[in-house]
Structure 1
């Protein structure tokens, strides 16, 4: 699974490097993986008794994660935060002006490779632990909230991590208290947080 995931992420990076718009490459990637995932899930569900595992991968249930899953997730989280805080300035520089970054002697390809590799590993670990849906929610919405609520790259990065951590733990507590899906409660909480931040800035 790790190898397949990294190959797909590298494919997006290669298409972007060859000149394709990042949004178009990402859309192609999402369409390809979603369609392939549905086909694979249908094949497994109709031929093998693994429906509970498919359910966990798609919808997620952190309460069913093993201790080894938790340890792996913690190690990956620490390594990714170290990578993010040590390379954010260069990655933002590349994103803002890639030609100037190349002229300045920055090894753009190396930073791109490291970024795509780290994203691929984090996504695969998160899918295995919290499921496909919650993985998307925890990656996309905290960064969006931090974008509206803070100024500066490092402050936004720190805020997005704290928002994701708080929302996940709060969603887990609400799920236990109300006997609901932790993925749904975390997602609803993050959407509510985004609404508060967005409209607070709109009326400011």
Structure 2
């Protein structure tokens, strides 16, 4: 039990709780926009930024964040160019991100081990600077959602009505995509690029099975996300499992229990 009082575990817990709060907040809007896969796309682009950060000797998460922001602008641009096939924007940016990351791997094989930790997560290696970055992103996301909750609700449930009412749809779309990019870029060190989309989507999927309103869905998704993060970290500490994987699997267990319970009630 001593591990729960170790500084590295406390930092991991704080970082996990902060991401557990912000990821589902963005995930709710992504699911409503039918852009659930954007998490994987921005995560892979962030990895390319992390790789370049190691290559240039600058803060890897900062470079990953910059790449994710640039990718978010590119996605919005391509979504407008292919209005009928908006999902093409995700496929194109993901392909480019993977290709660029692979190219950067070959340019600096000496740092590949460090970069690989961002693929699978390394929450136990979070330091104070990482926590401050995560905290800053968390405050920004909470502030934006709190100040623009009604506008976002209207836009994502009826975009045409929101446009007619005078809402600047372009601004809000870019804002949500940019916030998502920020959340993903700071999440990859916690759960890894390969699992980051799980924090965006699985808590939302769980909440949609039980929520009675949009606001209820937002609250439930955050609550379920935090349960998954804390349970996953506890299991990882007790049994020496990979923390990113146990967090995601904990969320999947919650989803499976909900599905079984719903089936039993119907029967």
**What is the TM-score with the length of structure 1 in the denominator?**
0.87
- Does residue 28 of the first structure (1) align with residue 92 of the second (2)? yes
Q: Is 2:229 the partner of 1:168?
A: yes
Q: In the alignment, does 2:74 pair up with 1:11?
A: yes
Report the secondary structure of 1:72's partner residue. helix
Residue 78 (structure 1) aligns with: 139
CA distance in structure 1 between the partners assigned to 2:231 and 2:134 by the alignment: 18
After the TM superposition, which of the residue ranges 129-138 and 19-28 deviates more from structure 2? 19-28
What is the SS of the residue equivalent to 2:188? helix
Matches within 5 A, 1:1-204: 1=63, 2-18=65-81, 19-41=83-105, 43-44=106-107, 47-204=108-265
- 5+ unaligned residues in a row in structure 1: which ranges? none
Gaps of 5+ in 2: 1-62
CA separation of 1:177/1:9 partners in 2, compared to 1, >3 Å: closer, same or farther? same
Q: Distance in 2 between matches of 1:69 and 1:27?
A: 30
* Contact 2:229–2:247 under 8 Å retained in 1: yes
Q: Conserved in 2, the CA contact under 8 Å of 1:69 and 1:129?
A: no
| Residues 99 and 148 of structure 1: CA distance in aligned 2, closer, same or farther (over 3 Å) | same
Q: Measured at CA, do residues 199 and 75 of structure 1 come closer, stay the same or move farther in structure 2, by a change above 3 Å?
A: same
Conserved 8 A contact 1:133-1:183: no
| Whole-angstrom distance in 2 between the partners of 1:151 and 1:167 | 22
Q: How many residues align?
A: 201
Q: 1:139 and 1:33 mapped to 2: Cα distance?
A: 19
38 and 151 in structure 1: CA distance in 2 versus 1, 3 angstrom threshold:
farther
Q: Cα gap change, 1:202/1:82 in structure 2, threshold over 3 Å: closer, same or farther?
A: farther
4+ long deviations beyond 6 Å: none
SS for the counterpart of 1:50 is helix
- Deviation for aligned residue 1:163: 1.6
Question: Which has the higher mean CA deviation after the structures are superposed, 24-33 or 111-120?
Answer: 24-33
Q: What TM-score do the two structures reach when normalised by structure 2?
A: 0.68
Range that drifts further, 55-64 or 92-101: 92-101
1:141–1:194 CA contact under 8 A, matched in 2: yes
Asked if the contact 2:121/2:192 (under 8 Å) is kept, the reply is yes
1:94–1:108 Cα contact (<8 Å) kept: yes
**In 1: Cα distance, 2:142 partner to 2:123 partner:** 21
Note if contact 1:59-1:132 (Cα within 8 Å) is conserved in structure 2.
Answer: yes
